[in-house]
Amino acid sequence: MVQLKLEIKAELENLANFQPQGGCDDPDFSYYFKCKFCGRDGTISMIPGRGRPYTIEDSESQEFAPLMLFDCRGFELVEFYFKDGWVAESTSGTKYKEINFLDGDFVEYDEKGECPVGISDLKHRFVVTK
């Protein structure tokens, strides 16, 4: 059994936090996989209570922060794509749903806060934990 922590780093502009739409510790996240090439099978499950949203404080520190922790049996995660299915909240409280990074960065205007908001320079890494 391998536990892999997904850590992310990003540049947040006037956003308090962002995270996947389903949250960072969904206990129902469990997948069974079978390799098309070798026929091996395995499971990947999210471990609840070990992840958290990425915050403006994380962005200001310019350090990687833990987003999710996975229990991997039979497989090891090697890549992560930020694609779609994200939510964020601005520093003024405006909520943004259905954020996607298919074109790269996220940029909007917060009418309530009267300022631009954005997420850019997304990076990730997997760290083996115990």
According to the model, what pLDDT value does residue 38 have? 81
According to the model, what pLDDT value does residue 12 have? 98
Question: What is the pLDDT averaged over residues 88-94?
Answer: 98
Cβ neighbourhood burial of 7 (10 Å; 0-12, 13-18, 19+): buried
According to the model, what pLDDT value does residue 30 have? 63
User: Which tens digit of pLDDT belongs to each residue from 44-73?
Assistant: 888 888 899 999 999 999 999 999 999 888
CA dihedral 73, 76, 79, 82 (to 10 degrees): 20
According to the model, what pLDDT value does residue 65 have? 97
- Range(s) of the domain holding residue 113: 2-129
Overall number of domains in the chain: 1
Taking Cα atoms as reference points, which of 77, 76, 129, 122 lies closest to residue 99?
A: 122
